[in-house]
């Protein structure tokens, strides 16, 4: 098959397809050159043109690349996910979809793991999944990140939400105390009412004693009346007297 002529539409189409299929880790940020594969990238970094540019690259330029990479990374994280947690690898895949982004190989960081560890130490992100794991043993596949929003507006919003939660808690506590007092008052009133309807034991005994005394007095009275009647009854006269 004949090669497409240089500069033709077919040639440009093939170039665009090749760029889309090539891996971003084989991109040289300093030379702004995309290599087709690992062998091509190794050949490029040994080339005189690349070595010349590297020799001219100052510490200030590396720091500038590093700041730009970090700034773009955090900006996209804030816009797309806010303070929600996301896998570090998954988000990095989203970040590098922009072909014009600054590549990590132009910064001071040699891996994504070291980069997210740096951001976590700076307090710019939260690193999840790194608990009780030494830094050298961290696996980026197991790490998740979330943005830390320290802006004035966000801090004010969090403070307002915190105050609202405190007020709601205080109101609930007040309502609970009032309800408890009402319950205690009702129980006290019920006990007093029940106490008022009870017959005292002493009063009951006294009543029984008086009742017994009355019974005894009545019997004695009846007996005495019968005896009196018999005594007062006249005797019949005998015919022989």
Tell me the C-alpha distance between 64 and 110, whole Å: 16
For residue 144, list its beta bridge partners.
87, 128
What percentage of residues in the chain have a pLDDT greater than 70? 65
Summarised one tens digit per residue, pLDDT across range 150-191 is 777 766 666 777 667 776 777 777 778 878 888 888 888 888
Average pLDDT of the residues in 101-119: 88
Average pLDDT of the residues in 106-127: 90
Our CA angle for 223, 227, 230, nearest 5°, is: 140
Record the tokens describing residue 208, joined without a space: 């029984």
Whether 208 has a pLDDT exceeding 60, the answer reads no
For residue 97, list its beta bridge partners.
none
Question: 96 or 17: whose pLDDT is higher?
Answer: 96
Summarised one tens digit per residue, pLDDT across range 5-42 is 665 666 666 665 555 545 666 778 888 888 888 888 88
Task: Kindly report each contact of residues 200-207 with a partner whose C-beta sits within 8 Å and lies 24 or more positions away, as own/partner.
Answer: none
Summarised one tens digit per residue, pLDDT across range 52-91 is 888 887 888 889 989 999 999 999 999 999 889 999 999 9
Collapse the DSSP code of 180 into the 3-class scheme (helix H, G, I; strand E, B; otherwise coil) and give the result: helix
What pLDDT was estimated at residue 66?
92
**pTM > 0.85:** no
Tell me the C-alpha distance between 143 and 42, whole Å: 30
Least Cα distance to 140 among 183, 71, 90, 208 occurs for: 90
Contact between residue 146 and residue 86 where contact means Cβ atoms under 8 Å apart: yes
pLDDT confidence bin for 214, thresholds 50/70/90: very low
Q: Where are the beta strands (DSSP E) in 1-124?
A: 27-28, 33-34, 86-87
What pLDDT was estimated at residue 185?
84
Average pLDDT of the residues in 43-56: 86
Tell me the C-alpha distance between 79 and 201, whole Å: 83
Collapse the DSSP code of 146 into the 3-class scheme (helix H, G, I; strand E, B; otherwise coil) and give the result: strand
Question: 109 or 3: whose pLDDT is higher?
Answer: 109
Average pLDDT of the residues in 184-211: 67
What pLDDT was estimated at residue 200?
55
Question: How many other CB atoms are there within 10 angstroms of residue 115's CB atom?
Answer: 21
Q: How far apart are the first and last CA of the chain?
A: 184
């Amino acid at each position: 098959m004949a090669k497409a002529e240089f500069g033709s539409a077919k040639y440009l189409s093939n170039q665009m397809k090749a760029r889309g299929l090539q891996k971003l880790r084989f991109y040289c940020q300093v030379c702004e050159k995309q290599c087709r594969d690992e062998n091509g990238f190794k050949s490029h970094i040994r080339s005189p043109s690349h070595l010349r540019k590297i020799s001219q690259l100052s510490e200030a330029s590396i720091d500038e690349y590093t700041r730009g990479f970090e700034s773009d990374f955090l900006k996209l994280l804030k816009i797309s996910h806010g303070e929600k947690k996301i896998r570090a690898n998954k988000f990095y895949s989203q970040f590098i979809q922009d072909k014009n982004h600054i590549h990590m190989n132009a910064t001071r960081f040699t891996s994504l793991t070291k980069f997210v560890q740096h951001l976590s130490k700076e307090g710019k992100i939260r690193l999840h999944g790194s608990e009780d794991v030494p830094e050298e043993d961290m696996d980026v596949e197991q790490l998740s990140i979330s943005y830390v929003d320290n802006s004035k507006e966000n801090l004010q919003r969090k403070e307002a939400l915190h105050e609202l939660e405190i007020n709601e808690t205080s109101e609930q506590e007040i309502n609970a105390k009032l309800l408890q007092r009402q319950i205690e008052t009702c129980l006290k009133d019920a006990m007093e009412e029940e106490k008022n309807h009870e017959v005292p034991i002493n009063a009951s005994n006294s009543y029984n004693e008086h009742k017994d005394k009355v019974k005894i007095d009545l019997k004695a009275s009846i007996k005495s009346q019968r005896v009196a009647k018999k005594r007062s009854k006249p005797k019949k006269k005998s015919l022989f007297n």
